[in-house]
Amino acid sequence: MIAHTKNRQNTLRAKLTIFTLFVSFAMASHSLDTEVGASATFVKALSITGNSDMSFGVIQYTSNNAANEITLSPDGAISCTNNSDYICPPSGARGEVKFSGSAGFELEISCEASGAISNGSEIFQLDAAAINIGESTYNCLGTGSSAAQYTLTGDVESDALYLGSRLNIPETGISEGGEYASDYSGGDPITIRIVYQ
């Protein structure tokens, strides 16, 4: 009986010791550490490393020429809808833009769908512009709408896009002839916009 009471007292003492330690711990000030991550992404500024203009080449026409649609595709091939009044070359020079930036980062590319070429007095409209990049062709939708996404490879030859378009000769045909270009008065080049996504 005495031993049993002593055991109970020891148990109670032990519990009170634990309780006291617990209270002491709870009363003491304590701290908590938390980790918060940080990040930044560095990208090399995009630069144009080379570009060349589109050229439909030399197009021959008869004196009584009428409307024609001359399409220069982004692979350089030329096709005409009116082959009776015109002799179109089989190929021209596609437009080319080479660019450089941080490899592995994705670009968003947009381009104007239309433009114009002029000889200073007579103006012909360009439309249906399209680009080829990464072996795929995309229609231009204006600089406010993404036409294509492309991931930079870091390879100077691969990181390039090619431009084609359609030249519209109206029903009245070509009256003056000569060289027509977007640089001349009334001309309007096709703008291409390349930005990091």
Q: Which residues bind another protein (CB under 8 A)?
A: 12, 15, 19, 22-23, 25-26, 29-46, 102-104, 196
Residues written for the chain: 197
Q: Select from 176, 169, 182 the least CA-distant residue to 88.
A: 169
Judged by beta carbon, residue 3 or residue 38, the one nearer another protein is 38
Least CB distance to another protein at residue 59 (A): 42
User: What's the closest the beta carbon of residue 61 comes to another protein, in angstroms?
Assistant: 48
Type of residue numbered 188:
D
Which is closer to another protein, CB of 12 or CB of 48?
12
Residue type, position 119, single letter = N
Shorter beta-carbon distance to another protein: residue 91 or 100:
100
Tokens of 67: 């409307």
Residue among 23 and 58 whose Cβ is closer to another protein:
23
Closest contact distance (angstroms) between CB of 21 and another protein is 11
Q: Is 59 helix (H, G, I), strand (E, B) or coil?
A: coil
- Amino acid found at 196: Y
Shortest reach from residue 141's CB to another protein, in Å: 25
Q: How far apart are CA 163 and CA 19, in angstroms?
A: 81
